[in-house]
């Protein structure tokens, strides 16, 4: 069975020869894994670990003054959002330092903003990027389109954006619409250039806190869900798999996400309210598949490899009860996670039997 077959089994909630796998890491962890395996690139690491789901991107070729990548480099990104570095002993992160639409007071100002061009990306490189991932197996390929909740508040500022939901809903709609249209248009161009080589389109935006949603379910359904659906339904209707990312407690709207066509829910932050694997599988396992759930907050940094092996096995036996689960840390692996702890996750996958 190929990696692609394995992931397609997950999308259809059918058991494969083994659970499918995925992996995201901070740059510092990639470097540690490259050193451990004595290889040259993160793709080589993924091949050594036999990771099934692969994330691909395209290079930015737009203006240098808008060339910082959101949340992963310093400077101004293609949206015009300003980023600055913030370091701790394990990782370098990038925080938002400037919200370009913070002072806008009308819909006219939103539409008059210097929005990015779809021509600022080199779509011709997508096939080459996919080919790199398929050196050792036919992997399942995902392109992450973007999201119509986080990017809007990055542009506006979180406090102002959440206030706007009540006081200036027309501004929220204008920003979300522009962002959704852009991400949709870029993803369509990527799909055209990939010529059938992409299996899944990802989207997302953190709408969950530790206890509940960041906004009421009713308000989310009224103001945000239509834009979220605009980055899911069209791709589902094209016959593609769909992936949605939100940290935190999102149990209140999982039925909604399934209804608008989400196949894979990520990252399953198991410490958040209502996100316990047993509860998720019982209530939603027949309508959505899961991606993540190997706790990156407490388990991976602090447990022993044996404990991680056992917990990964337990999670697979619950969330993978009908085959609808991709094993992955519950977010990017951070620099405080020992390499041997991460390796224990994928050793558990190799040893697991349905």
**CB atoms inside a 10 Å sphere around CB 293:** 28
Q: What is the mean pLDDT of residues 64-89?
A: 93
Give the CATH number, domain containing residue 226: 3.20.20.210
Residue 352 token pair: 């697991």
Query: Residue 20: which domain range?
Result: 3-351
pTM above 0.85, yes or no: yes
Least confident of 67-76, 105-114, 198-207, 244-253: 67-76
**CA-CA distance, 9 to 323, in Å (whole number)?**
7
As for how many domains the chain has, the answer is 1
Q: Per-residue pLDDT averaged across 341-351, rounded?
A: 98
Report the DSSP beta bridge partners of residue 265: 244, 290
Three-state SS for the chain is CCHHHHHHHHHCCCCCCCCEECCCECHHHHHHHHHHHCCCCHHHHHHHCCCCEEEECCCECCCHHHCECCCCCCEEECCCCEEEEEECCCCEEEEEEECCCCCCCCHHHHHHCCCCCHHHECHHHHHHHHHHHCCCCCCEEEEEEECCCHHHHHHHCHHHHHHHHHHCHHHHHHHHHHHHHHHHHHHHHHHHHHCCCCCEEEEECCCECCCCECCCHHHHHHHHHHHHHCCCHHHHHCCCEEEEECCCCCHHHHHHHHHCCCCEEECCCCCCCCCCHHHHHHHHCCCCEEEEEECCCCHHHHCCHHHHHHHHHHHHHHHCCCCCEEEEECCCECCCCCHHHHHHHHHHHHHCCC
Of 147, 308, 279, the closest CA to residue 224 belongs to: 147
pLDDT in tens, 119-164: 999 999 999 999 999 999 999 999 999 999 999 999 999 999 999 9
pLDDT at 13 over 90: yes
CA dist., res. 19 & res. 256, Å (int): 26
- Tokens representing 283 are 């209530």
Residue 47 confidence (pLDDT) above 90? yes
pLDDT at 70 over 90: no
Please report, rounded to a whole number, the percentage of residues in the chain having pLDDT higher than 70.
100
The mean pLDDT value of the chain amounts to 97
């Amino acid at each position: 069975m190929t990696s692609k077959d394995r992931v397609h089994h997950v999308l259809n909630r059918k058991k494969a020869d083994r659970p499918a796998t995925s992996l995201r890491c901070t740059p510092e962890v990639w470097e540690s894994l490259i050193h451990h395996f004595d290889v040259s690139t993160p793709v080589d690491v993924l091949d050594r670990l036999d990771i099934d789901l692969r994330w691909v991107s395209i290079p930015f070729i737009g203006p240098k003054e808008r060339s910082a990548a959101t949340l992963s480099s310093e400077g101004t990104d293609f949206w015009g959002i300003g980023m600055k570095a913030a370091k701790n002993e394990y990782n370098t992160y990038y925080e938002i330092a400037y919200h370009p639409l913070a002072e806008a007071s009308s819909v006219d100002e939103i539409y008059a903003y210097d929005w990015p061009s779809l021509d600022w990306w080199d779509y011709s490189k997508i096939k080459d990027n996919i080919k790199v991932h398929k050196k050792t197996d036919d992997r399942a390929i995902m392109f992450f389109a973007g999201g119509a909740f986080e990017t809007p508040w990055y542009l506006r500022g979180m406090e102002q954006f959440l206030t706007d939901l009540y006081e200036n809903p027309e501004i929220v709609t204008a920003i979300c619409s522009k962002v959704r249209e852009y991400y949709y248009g870029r993803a369509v161009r990527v799909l055209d250039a990939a010529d059938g080589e992409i299996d899944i389109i990802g989207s997302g935006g953190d709408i969950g806190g530790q206890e509940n949603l960041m906004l009421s379910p009713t308000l989310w359904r009224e103001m945000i869900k239509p834009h979220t659906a605009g980055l899911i339904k069209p791709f589902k209707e094209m016959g593609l798999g769909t992936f949605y990312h939100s940290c935190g407690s999102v149990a209140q709207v999982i039925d909604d996400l399934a209804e608008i066509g989400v196949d894979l829910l990520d990252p399953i932050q198991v410490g958040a309210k209502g996100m316990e694997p047993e509860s998720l599988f019982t209530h939603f396992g027949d309508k959505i598949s899961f991606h993540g759930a190997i706790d990156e907050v407490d388990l991976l940094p602090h447990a022993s490899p044996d404990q991680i092996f056992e917990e990964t096995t337990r999670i697979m036996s619950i969330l993978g009860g009908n085959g609808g689960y991709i094993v992955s840390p519950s977010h990017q692996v951070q620099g405080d996670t020992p390499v041997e702890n991460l390796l224990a996750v994928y050793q558990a996958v190799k040893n697991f039997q349905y």
